[in-house]
Amino acid sequence: MMIKHHETGKSYDDWNSDENLRISNKPAGTALMQCVKRVGQLAATGWASTAITIAQSAHPVANIFQPQATPAESVYHLSLLVLSVCATIFTIVAGLLVFTIVRFRCKKNDEHEPPQVYGSNRIEVAWTVIPILIVFVLTMATARVVIATQDQRAPKDALHVTVVGHQWWWEIRYPDLGVVTANELHVPLSTPRKPAFTYLTLQSADVAHSFWVPQLAGKTDLIPNRTNTMWIDPRETGTFLGNCAEYCGMQHANMLLRVVVEQPAEFQLWAAGQKAAAVGGSFMEDRAVFLSLSCVSCHTVSGTPAKGTFGPDLSHLMSRSNLASGMIPNTAENLRAWIRDPQAIKPGNLMPNMQLNTLELDAVMNYLSSLK
């Protein structure tokens, strides 16, 4: 992996070579200081860049400061208020601390004890009243955003989606369309001329989860035996990343989510494809092998006797970009590895190693690869 210097644009190997030439022509003391300075730059820039690059490549993180829907924009403006208040408090407190250290520091050869002052009604009233006012303002601002978001009523043409949290994947149902999928939520684009609202019904099948797509909305919990709701109106096409924001077990960090925002025509085309039965007609022998295994006890494939509901619906598996709730790209190699031993990829998940022989593995792999 090549990481470039943030100022010169050169790779660190090239930059180090140039820097070595400059240092070698300077006095020893200056050269030493330059070496120390360069080590600091490498530590601050190179290692930070490496850490960020590795983290983003593993699990890219969405930016809450780039909202692309009304609920997220409300959270964004509220966060700016909170950050501004906190920054002001920090500046005042730090400034007073520095002023006190400098102004009242112990002078040389001064052994007298400073005057002791006990109690000040004005100061005590100030540091009691001001925090109360700050908390009141932030509470009212937060309540205003929460109420405005929750009181938004669904228009008649809104898209209704039910999202069910499982350990550790997302079941996504479109009751009006008769479509069931997993881990990828497809929604239409909302424009000023043609607003498109998506209303989500959030439920949990096991433990507490939390639905969070930072660029589209704030966090909403999925609680067992309770139904919560939220809505989004995405204003930009693309794929928006999300995650479960409530610790729900050992694979909590790998309970990833993608919201795919499409033009209305493209969304209708996707929905039509999802409605069609995906029976893999050209792989009848492989289909028979798949149906003979216990996979059908947990998974559904439309147009077949497989009607399991414990695991994700596989009807159009190959139309999804990722496997294992976003952990790995949906490629033939990764699909085969996932079928062979899911515990090696996502330890602790509820899909067991079926101990398939080579012929069974090939048949299941061929059949699932045909479900588009």
DSSP 164-184: EEETTEEEEEETTTTEEEESE
pLDDT value at residue 279? 62
Instruction: Kindly state the tokens that stand for 160.
Output: 């209704």
In CATH, 62-101+124-235+249-258 is 2.60.40: yes
Weakest mean pLDDT among 142-146, 161-165, 285-289: 285-289
Which one has a higher pLDDT value, 1 or 345? 345
Report the percentage of the chain scoring pLDDT > 70: 83
Residues 278-302 pLDDT 10s: 765 567 888 888 888 888 889 988 8
Burial of 187 (0-12, 13-18, 19+ CB in 10 A): buried
Distance CA 310, CA 316 (A): 17
Residue 44 has pLDDT above 60, yes or no: no
**What is the rounded CA–CA span in Å between residue 67 and residue 21?**
46
93 contacts: CB under 8 Å, gap ≥ 6: none
Higher pLDDT, 315 or 109: 315
3-state secondary structure at position 160? strand
The whole-angstrom separation of Cα 63 and Cα 47 is 21
- The whole-angstrom separation of Cα 215 and Cα 311 is 28
Q: How confident is the model at residue 207 (pLDDT cuts 50, 70, 90)?
A: very high
pLDDT band at 119 (very low <50, low <70, confident <90, very high): confident
Could you tell me the pTM of the whole model? Answer: 0.75
What pLDDT does residue 69 have?
Answer: 93
Cα–chain center distance at 171 = 17
Cα dist from 56 to 89, 170, 250, 258, whole Å: 32, 22, 21, 15
Architecture of domain 281-369: Sandwich (2.60)
Q: What is the DSSP string of 166-235?
A: ETTEEEEEETTTTEEEESEEEEE---SSS---EEEEEEESSS-EEEE-TTT---EEE-BT--EEEEE---
Query: Is residue 21 predicted with pLDDT exceeding 60?
Result: no
Worst-scoring range by mean pLDDT, 241-255, 256-270, 283-297?
A: 283-297
Residue 149 to residue 74: CA distance in whole angstroms: 8
Q: Is residue 287 within 8 Å of 315, Cβ to Cβ?
A: no
Instruction: Find the mean pLDDT for residues 140-158.
Output: 90
In the predicted structure, residue 3 carries a pLDDT above the cut 80: no
Three-state SS at 328: strand
Q: 70 with 233: CB under 8 angstroms?
A: yes
Residue 260 has pLDDT above 90, yes or no: yes
User: What are the structure tokens assigned to 201, written together?
Assistant: 């019904």
Residue tagged 């937060």 (tokens): 142
Q: How far apart are CA 170 and CA 152, in angstroms?
A: 25
Which residue would you say has higher pLDDT here, 36 or 133?
133
| pLDDT for 199 beyond 80 | yes
